[in-house]
Amino acid sequence: MISVSIIGAGNVASHLYQVFSKTKSVSVNQWYNRDLSKISSYQNKVAITDKLSELKEADIYIIAVSDDAISDLSKALPFENRLVAHTSGSVSIYDLDKKNRRGVFYPLQTFSKEAKLDFTNVPICIETIGKKDYPLLKSLAQAIGSNYYKVNSDQRKALHLAAVFVNNFSNQLYRVAHEITESEGVEFDILKPLILETSKKVQNLSPYMAQTGPAKRNDKKTIKRHLKQLENEEHKAIYSLLTKSIKNTHGVPIKAATKSKKQ
């Protein structure tokens, strides 16, 4: 049985509590948050506290708070030589105070409190300084059914940056698409099969091979028509920037195209 104490009450902490509490080989000893009201609804299911001095002994202390708070919070922990792991994608393992054994247990997924999550679809990126601590975090990932990957801080930061592109930025593009369809009274739901197929395609093809559309084809008339159709200047700028990026990756250089016509 792996005993865990959760520190924090955000989206990641809430989802980790849910999955840990349903896993037979994991025991949530305690849940800490400085604002007790955010976890008070769980007080009949788990021991809760708003005092770091009251933290009980556990195999792993998981800090699931905002990135900026990780360093100070780890320094404030009133014990030493215990395994403390944060869940951030972009914070170095060395931001954790060295008085304790340090680790990272980074679930690479998008978390919303309202959305249910299957942790068999959540890869866990693990990093430790002490070699003996890795097997414990690995066992915790296995216990909740997640795939796990041993990554260093630089690799994890690269994954987090890439995740912003595939998740946060793509979600913003969905929002732009929603505004465009909404402006003409068209249902955004009509686009959902396309969204699913696009995501499904990159499971088997590289993003490079999966790319289609007017930018890749260098369809100048369609691109010009789209830009004219867009009234929102921000949307127009996004369209132009992404079109340029796709053309740089897939497009035929203008000079080469001109030369081939002469021939």
Strands (E), the chain: 2-7, 26-32, 48-49, 60-63, 83-86, 101-107, 124-128, 148-150
- What number of other Cβ atoms are within 10 A of residue 105's Cβ? 27
Q: Are strands 148-150 and 124-128 parallel, antiparallel or unpaired?
A: parallel
Instruction: Region of 70 please: left (phi>0), alpha (psi -120 to 50) or beta.
Output: alpha
pLDDT score at 115: 74
The gap from C-alpha 53 to its chain's centroid, in whole angstroms, comes to 31
168-198 pLDDT, tens digit per residue, is: 999 999 999 999 999 999 999 999 999 999 9
- What number of other Cβ atoms are within 10 A of residue 188's Cβ? 15
Q: Which two tokens stand for residue 27?
A: 């025991």
Question: Given pLDDT bands bounded at 50, 70 and 90, which one contains residue 260?
Answer: very low
Q: How far apart are CA 127 and CA 106, in angstroms?
A: 9
Instruction: Report helix, strand or coil for 196.
Output: helix
Question: Given pLDDT bands bounded at 50, 70 and 90, which one contains residue 258?
Answer: very low
pLDDT score at 255: 41
Q: How far apart are CA 34 and CA 9, in angstroms?
A: 9
pLDDT score at 113: 73
Question: Given pLDDT bands bounded at 50, 70 and 90, which one contains residue 73?
Answer: very high
Least confident range of 71-75, 247-251, 254-258: 254-258
- What number of other Cβ atoms are within 10 A of residue 50's Cβ? 14
**Closest-CA residue to 18 (of 134, 136, 135, 107):** 107
Mean pLDDT of 98-123: 89
Q: How far apart are CA 165 and CA 216, in angstroms?
A: 19
Would you say the C-alpha torsion 166, 171, 174, 176 has a positive or negative sign?
Answer: negative
Report DSSP letters for 72-106, one per residue: HHHHH-S--SSEEEE--SSS-GGGS-TTSEEEEEE
DSSP 251: P
Domains and CATH numbers, the chain: 2-151 (3.40.50.720), 157-253 (1.10.1040.20)
Contact (CB, 8 A) for 117 and 111: yes
Question: Given pLDDT bands bounded at 50, 70 and 90, which one contains residue 253?
Answer: low
Mean pLDDT of 191-216: 91
